Amino acid sequence: MSDMSDWPVLTLAGGPVQVSDRTLRDQSRPVLYHNDPAFKALFASTCELLQRVYRTRYDVVIMQGEALLGLEAAAASLVSPGDKVLNLVSGVFGKGYGSFIEKYGGQTIELAVPYDDAIDPDAVRRVLDDQSDIKFLAVVHSETPSATVNPVRAIGEIARRRGVITIVDTVSGLGGEVLSPEAWGMDIAVAGPQKCLGGPPGLALLSVSPAAWDVMETRPQPLRGSYLSILDWKRSWIEQRTFPYTPSVSSIYALESVLSQVLEEGIERHAARHQTIAAACRAGVRALGLRLWAAREAIAAPCVTGVAMPEGIDDGALRGLMRERYGVMISGGYGDLAGKLFRLGHMGPAAHPTYLAAQLAILERALVDLGHPVELGAGVGAAMAALAGWGREA
Amino acid sequence: MSDMSDWPVLTLAGGPVQVSDRTLRDQSRPVLYHNDPAFKALFASTCELLQRVYRTRYDVVIMQGEALLGLEAAAASLVSPGDKVLNLVSGVFGKGYGSFIEKYGGQTIELAVPYDDAIDPDAVRRVLDDQSDIKFLAVVHSETPSATVNPVRAIGEIARRRGVITIVDTVSGLGGEVLSPEAWGMDIAVAGPQKCLGGPPGLALLSVSPAAWDVMETRPQPLRGSYLSILDWKRSWIEQRTFPYTPSVSSIYALESVLSQVLEEGIERHAARHQTIAAACRAGVRALGLRLWAAREAIAAPCVTGVAMPEGIDDGALRGLMRERYGVMISGGYGDLAGKLFRLGHMGPAAHPTYLAAQLAILERALVDLGHPVELGAGVGAAMAALAGWGREA
Amino acid sequence: MSDMSDWPVLTLAGGPVQVSDRTLRDQSRPVLYHNDPAFKALFASTCELLQRVYRTRYDVVIMQGEALLGLEAAAASLVSPGDKVLNLVSGVFGKGYGSFIEKYGGQTIELAVPYDDAIDPDAVRRVLDDQSDIKFLAVVHSETPSATVNPVRAIGEIARRRGVITIVDTVSGLGGEVLSPEAWGMDIAVAGPQKCLGGPPGLALLSVSPAAWDVMETRPQPLRGSYLSILDWKRSWIEQRTFPYTPSVSSIYALESVLSQVLEEGIERHAARHQTIAAACRAGVRALGLRLWAAREAIAAPCVTGVAMPEGIDDGALRGLMRERYGVMISGGYGDLAGKLFRLGHMGPAAHPTYLAAQLAILERALVDLGHPVELGAGVGAAMAALAGWGREA
Amino acid sequence: MSDMSDWPVLTLAGGPVQVSDRTLRDQSRPVLYHNDPAFKALFASTCELLQRVYRTRYDVVIMQGEALLGLEAAAASLVSPGDKVLNLVSGVFGKGYGSFIEKYGGQTIELAVPYDDAIDPDAVRRVLDDQSDIKFLAVVHSETPSATVNPVRAIGEIARRRGVITIVDTVSGLGGEVLSPEAWGMDIAVAGPQKCLGGPPGLALLSVSPAAWDVMETRPQPLRGSYLSILDWKRSWIEQRTFPYTPSVSSIYALESVLSQVLEEGIERHAARHQTIAAACRAGVRALGLRLWAAREAIAAPCVTGVAMPEGIDDGALRGLMRERYGVMISGGYGDLAGKLFRLGHMGPAAHPTYLAAQLAILERALVDLGHPVELGAGVGAAMAALAGWGREA
């Protein structure tokens, strides 16, 4: 086993996040044969838990790979050559989705905003009204790299009214907001366990509407017999309670554990906890004279807080110092945003006043170490002031 | 957490297999952010361990999904429309590979034998000599559903001499034999952690030859930007030490653990242990008057032992009884072989006299329960007799 | 961390025994401060579980040290100088208890039988009738070193009718028989988690009758303010829900876990499982032509089976071979019995056909290795034959 | 398993402390039979690690119960009726030791200071000079309830020069200072794993000088054959590598783990880390206008920081709020000190800037909730300012 002495004390990154002890213990249950009746029962129960966390009666599919597998699978399964797809771009992940659309022959109509902003539903409406042959709409709910959220509810309602099938990347959205695939018009939603749910990565968590199934099954040459096939899971697991291939047994254990923990806490409380901590984090950031990356508070994400890199501070130096000297791992910018912002993570068990205080305190300390003038304690104090109502409802 | 009272005592199936306590403990190390330097160091070291277990200097790629992902990725990455692929079929998995070849536009030349037999290298030579435009050869090293092995070394050497690129499914082969990708002419080998390595499922372990990289990179429209892309891992991890997407952190921990355990034992000893236990298992099976599924001992697999279902015994009844009454989970036949054989697993930590004795004793007990006349203890006794040399070399 | 490559595959000794995965996982819950309300609630609930496993309404006390601490504490807390104590001796542990009696000033009246035999209740009756000033009676329920049991129920009833206070060492008895402290006249019973309960060692589990409390409290100079004091736990935990000192937090977690597992299985089924496996083990031993250590079946213990060392076989050689070559750890004789017998353990999770078969198979193999003529498989076969009814009731 | 939803997020109490993931994982290694050669090797190696952490060549003894067992054992093993023992009292634990001395017949000479102060070595010298028949001296190194330390080095040197045998309670001292039993004149030192070493409770860790062995062995009626006997461990483990009774297998695993971790960090760095964090904690406390309990900084403990309860704040309300609302468990006063102070814990892994910041932030938040006027962030800021040099030496 590798030496762990250089591991961070706290992982407060943009995901994967630090996982609760209980999750790690549950993940380490003995590995079962996937056709063992006990494993099948556990898999079935995990699917039910996932439906409850998604708050949906749609089918759910747990794909055995990172969330990105589910996102690509949605394009590969839905999009036929020539299909027009409205791709909403408010960040790196939204931009990237265009390449999946095109890989599978779709024609991308891009509606983009700067990467610190969010999509305006009215703009979506106008595009859909203009181009009535748009068949699909792809949108990122929570743009983790930008630490912003899009108004997927409003967007989904618009799409649904026009019969446009939606693909919603809610990888870091599920658990941070109270969703409703039916009400929000989400045809295929894709989430990951390693963000607000507070689990380890390795699975793609899909909710699939009947309309989406219909498209997949009735298109020319439905995608079957592939690791990218969502239909394979329908035919095997949903219809016959068999697996198309060996699922990731231990990852399913961990997923069952985190879903149970979310439901024990209550989905509403879980989401509210993330939102409250995110607001407190923003208060702390402002008190330090730092600038939020998000153009405005209303579109700041519940899962991470993006902070514009202060003038004269090097991204690698700041995060390196926090990590090496103080044991706190946070995330930087990603892709085009590298070096422009850093991100304070508050997902899963880390969405808590203790970890927020620790994170801000170390950020302050590291900024001072680098010669950036902040008042030690000011960010923590403002964040804690914003938490005056914490824990009072119980 | 689900009630575990109905979990089996011993999982001796065709994989996933029961995993050592140490592996479970190592898997439960805290979840790191994948861009944390500590995780990158661990991932790099895991790749080196994998190279040592494969006994290769070829690049290795760890794909973040079940072994099947790696198998499909090999077809998707190598095969261009019109390419001729010799697909060797000695079982369900070999047969199934044809559909991947065709999905990606290849033309399958099938060389098949009955599913209790193995491919004859001379037949391969003849086909390749006959059809010099064959570009790829696909072969399953260890046909887990049939519990047989193919002579991949001889086949690989034939292919290499002719410049045919090979795709070797050694999912349940790695760890049960001492391989050498270079010497054996394996261009893309795909293994899984959940078989002879004794780990949990969820990863595909690839060894890739320079010739295979060359085909992937120089073909028209190289496969990039996809969960199925092997090249993505070359460009990101191998060349830049970044990840194309979030890897399965906990699964990597478990993989590092099982690879370390294999290397501590020694690859030769590890493989020999599997082969010795498999031979003892076959001795036990014969002593019970049961018939091996494999046409002859020489092609019986080290990882599982296939036993022809005795006349009058129902597969579900036998395995159900072993599982429900005695807590021992074994595997049945798969696909076309369902009901025709059952399989006694002896992979990973379970390749040991204690587990073999337990498994055979419960098999005997269950057969007697079902009215099949075997002498209780006879199989165990014969197996133990076959282990007269066990542990003497140390 | 020490290298674990030389650890045994199966620990089937006289206790500690191999512990279930669930127990290990539960034991590894985060360490709480002992005055944390969550820990106090867990400790209280563990005491209730212990009462249910003991099937008593007496107070229970969990002392924070090995079972021996509880046994010494009973003598130290009850016996005053000059008190006459009838000490029943049918083995090493019974014999040893005399030294505790004398250390605390008691006068030992010893009633002894050979170490392969059990105490006759009639003999107890006669002694008590003869010496009406006997105040205490000490008896070992399950003499682990001899693998025999004493009829504690009959003995306890005799003692109770005469007002004699009993100290019952049921360290390896609890869980292997269905006890009833009230009905069986057990004033202080002392059990351990590391035997039939299948947990790790480190605690002494006491059941204390009102009569025993009365003696402790009313004797001259009650024992208080000492690690050996049972009264300290009454005053602090039972009466005030405080701890006299820091309890072994992790050990309490493990205890809660094993008690829960016993109760989920059902105490009757748990005990019956031990007895059935013990009977099958004896059948296997006899079939190998070996001699039980116990003078007769009726007094053989449910927790371990003692086997007289065969002529010409060296204890160290036999057990060393089983351990080093085959990874199975069993126990030898202890104290005066060293070299005279070996003991096959079947406690806790190991009281199962699979582990029994594995153990007997390795015993056979090792005996043959040493040149002792046994038929390989004969013991396993006989044991499995004796298990014809296993698992049929469910 | 009990519901864990009400468990604290951070345990920052006076011990037991929150334990590292690695320790919990190591503790959960499979339970071995204590006579298994692998366990004996691990126990032996653990003793060596303990010697290295104590920085001694004296024998070490690991007693199988809470640290208090070792403290009572020292009195029980050394003190004969009539022996004069100088008992130094600067807190609850020191005061309490007198009752052990008297229980075993000793005559206590008490030298006491107020419970916020430390013993003056000159006063010790004077008493010893005055009463040359004093045979033993008992002193508490780190008075956890008062969060103060005594100058045990100076005291020990004085005692040694006069041939007085010392009993040093360093339960929460080992790991927080760099000790040297030989140089500091510590004849019997008793430590616990659950304080600065950062492990779970359940063991007493003794270092024993040849002079102490000599007293134990040559006194009338040496204490043998008892759970309280230190000599039993000498005769069995030290001299014969056997155990007087079953050791707490899992607790030994955890101890091996924490000792290894301390040595990997380096004893000097480990102690310095505790002292630096303690100093920063005091800076934070002062910045909040709170009063240290310790009469002066120089005698404040490295393991916990005692803070005088602010006027008008109720102990139960403050700590209850921190625990229930914010998930942070700290300790209150103990015994005579209950309600007079609260204690901020920074032991083991928690001796780190992140946990200190979290703890102070929650303390501030809770004080404000209770209407006590502190500036949110002021304590954290001052503590972080005091950590300007943290992590720079590496």
Shortest distance between the Cα of A293 and any Cα of chain B, in A, equals: 21
CB spacing of C21 vs A1 below 8 angstroms? no
pLDDT tens per residue across span B202-247? 999 999 999 999 999 999 999 999 999 999 999 999 999 999 999 9
pLDDT at D3 over 80: no
Q: What is the mean pLDDT of residues A88-108?
A: 98
User: What whole-number distance in Å separates Cα of residue B289 and Cα of residue B301?
Assistant: 20
The closest CB to that of A329, out of B33, B250, B256, belongs to B33
Global pTM? 0.97
Percent of chain D with pLDDT over 70: 99
The predicted pLDDT at position A2 comes to: 52
User: What whole-number distance in Å separates Cα of residue B299 and Cα of residue B119?
Assistant: 10
Shortest distance between the Cα of B327 and any Cα of chain C, in A, equals: 8
- 3-state secondary structure (DSSP) of residue B169: strand
Residue D142: which pLDDT band, with cuts at 50, 70 and 90? very high
Q: What is the mean pLDDT of residues A268-290?
A: 98
Q: In 3D, which of A364, A19, A387, A68 has the Cα closest to residue A194? A: A19
User: What whole-number distance in Å separates Cα of residue C304 and Cα of residue C342?
Assistant: 10
**CB proximity under 8 Å: D 76-115 to C:** 99-100, 103
The predicted pLDDT at position A346 comes to: 98
pLDDT tens per residue across span A192-241? 999 999 999 999 999 999 999 999 999 999 999 999 999 999 999 999 99
CB spacing of A246 vs B31 below 8 angstroms? no
Q: CA nearest B394 in C: which residue?
A: C325
A387 touches chain D (CB under 8 A): yes
D135 close to D164: Cβ distance less than 8 angstroms: yes
Under 8 Å CB-to-CB from D125, ≥6 apart: which residues? D158
C70 touches chain D (CB under 8 A): no
- What does the block give as tokens for A130? 């203009």
The predicted pLDDT at position B5 comes to: 82
Strands (E), chain A: 10-11, 59-63, 84-89, 107-112, 134-140, 142-143, 148-149, 165-169, 188-191, 204-208, 304-308, 328-329, 331-332, 341-345
The predicted pLDDT at position C2 comes to: 52
CB spacing of B29 vs D25 below 8 angstroms? yes
CB spacing of C28 vs A29 below 8 angstroms? no
Instruction: Find the DSSP H helices in A243-310.
Output: 249-265, 267-287
> Residue A4: which H helix or E strand, with range?
none
The predicted pLDDT at position C76 comes to: 98
User: What whole-number distance in Å separates Cα of residue C31 and Cα of residue C386?
Assistant: 44
Residue D25: which pLDDT band, with cuts at 50, 70 and 90? very high
C24 touches chain B (CB under 8 A): yes
Q: What is the mean pLDDT of residues C339-358?
A: 98
Residue C81, classified by CB atoms within 10 Å of its CB into exposed (0-12), middle (13-18) or buried (19+), is: exposed
The closest CB to that of B36, out of A27, A36, A329, belongs to A329
Shortest distance between the Cα of C238 and any Cα of chain D, in A, equals: 18
* Cis peptide leading into residue A16 (ω within 30°): yes
User: What whole-number distance in Å separates Cα of residue A297 and Cα of residue A333?
Assistant: 19
D187 close to D212: Cβ distance less than 8 angstroms: yes
**C-alpha distances in Å from residue A32, one per residue of A200, B10, B178, C10:** 19, 9, 27, 20
Percent of chain C with pLDDT over 70: 99
**C-alpha distances in Å from residue C118, one per residue of C88, C295, D85, D250, D312:** 9, 9, 49, 34, 67
- What does the block give as tokens for D90? 């600067």
The closest CB to that of A375, out of D381, D390, D392, belongs to D381
pLDDT tens per residue across span C33-50? 999 999 999 999 999 999
Which residues of chain A are within 8 Å of residue D380 when distances are taken between CB atoms? 357, 361, 376-377, 380-381
pLDDT tens per residue across span C240-298? 999 999 999 999 999 999 999 999 999 999 999 999 999 999 999 999 999 999 999 99
Q: Write down which chains contact chain A via at least 3 CB pairs under 8 A.
A: B, C, D
Which residues of chain D are within 8 Å of residue A4 when distances are taken between CB atoms? 22
Shortest distance between the Cα of D325 and any Cα of chain A, in A, equals: 5
Q: Provide φ and ψ at A128, rounded to 5°.
A: -65, -35
User: What whole-number distance in Å separates Cα of residue A176 and Cα of residue B136?
Assistant: 48
Tally of residues, chain A: 394
C203 close to C27: Cβ distance less than 8 angstroms: no
B25 touches chain D (CB under 8 A): yes
Which residues of chain D are within 8 Å of residue B21 when distances are taken between CB atoms? 28-30
Q: CA nearest C332 in D: which residue?
A: D35
Q: Write down which chains contact chain D via at least 3 CB pairs under 8 A.
A: A, B, C
CB spacing of B4 vs C22 below 8 angstroms? yes
Q: What is the ipTM of this complex?
A: 0.97
- 3-state secondary structure (DSSP) of residue C133: coil
Residue with tokens 């005795």: B310
Q: What is the mean pLDDT of residues D317-344?
A: 96
Q: What is the mean pLDDT of residues A153-175?
A: 98
Q: What is the mean pLDDT of residues C95-110?
A: 98
CA end-to-end span of chain B, whole Å?
A: 43
pLDDT tens per residue across span D222-264? 999 999 999 999 999 999 999 999 999 999 999 999 999 999 9
β-strands A165-169, A188-191 pairing = parallel
The closest CB to that of D1, out of C245, C250, C260, belongs to C260
The closest CB to that of D246, out of C16, C19, C248, belongs to C16
**CB proximity under 8 Å: C 46-65 to D:** 64-65
Residue D217 neighbours by CB distance under 10 Å? 13
The closest CB to that of D29, out of B21, B28, B29, belongs to B21
**C-alpha distances in Å from residue B350, one per residue of A207, B20, B365, C346:** 38, 9, 20, 20
CB spacing of D41 vs C329 below 8 angstroms? no
Under 8 Å CB-to-CB from C103, ≥6 apart: which residues? C75, C76, D225, D226
CB spacing of B65 vs A64 below 8 angstroms? yes
Residue B82, classified by CB atoms within 10 Å of its CB into exposed (0-12), middle (13-18) or buried (19+), is: exposed
Q: Is the dihedral of CA D370, D375, D380, D386 positive or negative?
A: negative
Q: What is the mean pLDDT of residues A265-270?
A: 97
**C-alpha distances in Å from residue B229, one per residue of B73, B214, B236, C158:** 6, 14, 11, 80
Residues of chain B under the 70 pLDDT cut: 1-3, 393-394
The closest CB to that of D376, out of A355, A375, A381, belongs to A381
pLDDT at A84 over 90: yes
The closest CB to that of C21, out of A1, A21, A29, belongs to A29
User: What whole-number distance in Å separates Cα of residue A318 and Cα of residue A316?
Assistant: 6
Shortest distance between the Cα of A301 and any Cα of chain C, in A, equals: 31
Under 8 Å CB-to-CB from D393, ≥6 apart: which residues? none
The 3-class SS string of chain D reads CCCCCCCCCEECCCCCCCCCHHHHHHHCCCCCCCCCHHHHHHHHHHHHHHHHHHCCCCEEEEECECHHHHHHHHHHHHCCCCCEEEEEECCHHHHHHHHHHHHCCCEEEEEECCCCCCCCHHHHHHHHHHCCCEEEEEEECEECCCCEECCHHHHHHHHHHCCCEEEEECCCCECCECCCHHHHCCCEEEECCCCCCCCCCCCEEEEECHHHHHHHHHCCCCCCCCCCCCHHHHHHHHHHCCCCCCCCHHHHHHHHHHHHHHHHHCHHHHHHHHHHHHHHHHHHHHHCCCCECCCCHHHECCCEEEEECCCCCCHHHHHHHHHHHHCEECEECCHHHCCCEEEEECCHHHCCHHHHHHHHHHHHHHHHHCCCCCCCCHHHHHHHHHCCCCCCCC
pLDDT at C73 over 70: yes
CB spacing of C29 vs A28 below 8 angstroms? no
* Cis peptide leading into residue B222 (ω within 30°): no
> Residue B190: which H helix or E strand, with range?
strand B188-191
Chain B with chain D: Cβ pairs closer than 8 A: 14
Residue A310, classified by CB atoms within 10 Å of its CB into exposed (0-12), middle (13-18) or buried (19+), is: middle
Q: CA nearest A33 in B: which residue?
A: B16
Q: In 3D, which of A237, C357, A201 has the Cα closest to residue B249? A: A201
**CB proximity under 8 Å: D 247-306 to A:** 264-265
D238 close to D59: Cβ distance less than 8 angstroms: yes
pLDDT tens per residue across span A63-82? 999 999 999 999 999 999 99
The predicted pLDDT at position A393 comes to: 66
B248 close to B203: Cβ distance less than 8 angstroms: yes
A23 close to A261: Cβ distance less than 8 angstroms: yes
The predicted pLDDT at position D392 comes to: 85
CB spacing of B37 vs A251 below 8 angstroms? no
C229 close to C2: Cβ distance less than 8 angstroms: no
Residue A230 neighbours by CB distance under 10 Å? 26
CB spacing of D354 vs A384 below 8 angstroms? no
Q: What is the mean pLDDT of residues A17-40?
A: 96
CB spacing of D353 vs A265 below 8 angstroms? no
Residue D4: which pLDDT band, with cuts at 50, 70 and 90? confident
Shortest distance between the Cα of C213 and any Cα of chain D, in A, equals: 21
User: What whole-number distance in Å separates Cα of residue C272 and Cα of residue C175?
Assistant: 9
Q: In 3D, which of B339, B331, B344 has the Cα closest to residue B302? A: B344
The closest CB to that of C28, out of A1, A25, A30, belongs to A25
pLDDT at C129 over 70: yes
